[in-house]
Chain A
């Protein structure tokens, strides 16, 4: 990888000297990438973003931007675009004046300012609304103006702090696509904070999963989804089955595991004998019997979701979630039925036994 645009070097943050909001973090952000900081609230993702923006000071470590140390540079000199959760549009200025603000700070001549404003409005499809006040705009419109304002001075890096949280689902999905499109078109580096794992999977080039101040895993969406590194990541991203098992022994490339209740399955992984956690995606469990791992379970719950049916089945004392693709005309599985399920060994992952999630 060529020199990263942003480098976090052992950056840590503690507010009271005892608990660490962010544990020492080493993170490199490549130029032009869309990196998402994902995690539940309080996991340190927003704090990390704020330290990069300059609104929080790291307790230790250095932050570098384009190779230069910016840890102690005040925020107004960092030249980083920021989109805030509640948009932070200046209420006493019109849309055009909001957009003009960063350009005035950089003392651009008037003609240039007006040209850029026109371009920015067009870019977010808000032409004609230049003279409106933020209070007169809808949530989605305000968000677009916030985006345009953060981009209008052509920063190399844009930070977004859960910008779509306040919008309804449809608007959110629409804006996700718009942001992705802008990213592709402008080639700007985006650091995006969200707690919505679906959003992260949709938009990112890479995802850093945060939990209590630490990055548990850094990887592409597929890596995170298919090969979660910890039980937390496994459970946080998408739906997953986490089954405590006893590894009996290795059989070539497969590990033989015993499920609670006695059934034995094969997982395509290497793991020393002993307790472990079996990770299995609901959509990798199929109906029917001609797969190496066969299980018989009782249906507890069946919900029809249109494109799929989501089952909760009981395997002795273990509960599993199963997602079956819907094929018209098929028999609808009902609660109480006993069904045969199967999954391929390489659908199963083994993780060290943890204290659960």
Chain B
């Protein structure tokens, strides 16, 4: 059927368009020369070497991991607790809380960044590690809540009654029955939170001081301020990290976690 082939071909072209730029960066990062030409004029690992021996880039990588790690920890704990409270509880304003959770996601990042910069400057949190983690948590935690809520939705409430009828006090029932069953959801949320923080740029642009530059922030500085071909290598590494997270997320989805 011709239309189907045409549509399929169009789809293929679009997918190519989506993947090409990312894939093009790969060979460029191995280029031996400063000039970015495809195919590269020579092959070399010099940019990766430069990356790994550069103080700035290593610091950026360390900061990215630290901030994302702290954000994931904080976000997963707060988000899981909140999801449990929202699912099992009945209190006035439940709907409002859910709407409030969506707010950081639907607000344009620039507005959030501006607001937080203004507020943090007033209390001395601008340019601090803590401030950055708090900001990242605010935009990552909705995903944790969503993932855990999705997991809880497929949780059979009769299981809790069964556990109680078999003699399990609430704490034991939570530990032995609820937690194992929502673990994939919690993990999926954590992966998404980590990825969100790892890739986060706008908030970091305004809130990070020179000592807290993350990888995306450093890449931006490299593109905008001082042109540095190492950015291709940095971009590739950042891309590989994202792919690892994507794989983790897919693996979890097959085991029952996932967003929605």
A and B touch in the complex (CB under 8 A): yes
Cross-chain contact A91 with B167 (CB below 8 angstroms):
no
Contacts of A81 in B (CB 8 A): 165
- Asked if B65 CB lies within 8 Å of chain A CBs, one says no
Bin chain B's interface residue count: 10 to 19
Cross-chain contact B165 with A53 (CB below 8 angstroms):
yes
Cross-chain contact B180 with A84 (CB below 8 angstroms):
no
Cross-chain contact B161 with A101 (CB below 8 angstroms):
no
Stretch at the interface among A14-22, A72-80, A268-276, A293-301: A72-80
Taking the closest CB of chain B, its distance from the CB of A247, in whole angstroms, is: 51
- Asked if A88 CB lies within 8 Å of chain B CBs, one says yes
- How far does the alpha carbon of A199 sit from the alpha carbon of B159 in the complex, in Å? 26
Bin chain A's interface residue count: 20 to 34
Contacts of A150 in B (CB 8 A): 165-166
Q: A53-B161, A88-B158, A90-B159 are in contact. Are A102 and B181 (CB under 8 A)?
A: no
Contacts of A53 in B (CB 8 A): 161, 165
- Asked if B176 CB lies within 8 Å of chain A CBs, one says yes
Contacts of B169 in A (CB 8 A): 74, 76
Cross-chain contact B167 with A92 (CB below 8 angstroms):
no
Contacts of B181 in A (CB 8 A): 91-92
Taking the closest CB of chain B, its distance from the CB of A137, in whole angstroms, is: 16
Cross-chain contact A102 with B166 (CB below 8 angstroms):
yes
Cross-chain contact A102 with B164 (CB below 8 angstroms):
no
- How far does the alpha carbon of A156 sit from the alpha carbon of B168 in the complex, in Å? 18
- Asked if B173 CB lies within 8 Å of chain A CBs, one says yes
Most A C-beta atoms less than 10 A away, residue of B156, B163, B165, B180: B165
Most A C-beta atoms less than 10 A away, residue of B162, B164, B169, B180: B162
Taking the closest CB of chain B, its distance from the CB of A288, in whole angstroms, is: 54
Taking the closest CB of chain B, its distance from the CB of A192, in whole angstroms, is: 15
Cross-chain contact A101 with B164 (CB below 8 angstroms):
no
Given contacts A76-B164, A76-B165, 20 further A-B contacts (CB under 8 A): A74-B164, A75-B165, A76-B163, A76-B168, A77-B167, A81-B165, A84-B158, A85-B158, A86-B158, A88-B156, A88-B159, A90-B163, A90-B177, A101-B163, A101-B176, A102-B167, A105-B167, A105-B168, A153-B166, A153-B167
Minimum-distance CB pairs A-B, first 8: A105-B167, A102-B166, A88-B162, A82-B165, A88-B158, A75-B164, A76-B164, A92-B180
